[in-house]
Structure 1
Amino acid sequence: MSQTTPTVRVCRECDGFPVVHITTGTLDPSGQRRTLAAACSACQGTGTRTAPASLVRAGK
């Protein structure tokens, strides 16, 4: 069985998990934990990165 390469480039900083929720340790009145969302700063929460620019030789 052949393997296919993924066409989407996964962010290497967050490994495709761009947004995580961190607990603050406090409880709200209903008894649930309060959380804060933190997005990956490298991909701005998308989980993918653009391909690096390739060098093009111009002229002779």
Structure 2
Amino acid sequence: MPQHTHAHTRRCPACDGFPTVAITTGARHRDGSRVTIRVTCPACKGTGHATPAPVLTRAGK
């Protein structure tokens, strides 16, 4: 059964809705687990949603 998408939510185009990710550095801890760092999307500041573009107004004549 197909999933319905919600038209009112806008995903961030930079992270596609995955605002925080864990990236492995390639190193390992003493117990054998991997060393990871958490990175948040700089475009949406970790919210996962795109902010609407500001409306430009024309001033003058």
Do both share a fold (TM > 0.5)? yes
**Same amino acid, percent of matched pairs:** 46
State how far apart, in whole Å, the 2-side matches of 1:52 and 1:46 are: 16
Cα deviation, residue 9, structure 1: 1.0
User: CA deviation digits over 1:16-60, x for unaligned, max 9?
Assistant: 1111111111111111001011111000111001222234568xx
Alpha carbons of structure 1 residues 4 and 39: separation in structure 2 relative to 1, 3 Å:
closer
1:15: which partner in 2? 16
Aligned-residue CA RMSD in angstroms? 2.3
Aligned length: 58
1:25: which partner in 2? 26
Structure 1 unaligned spans of 5+: none
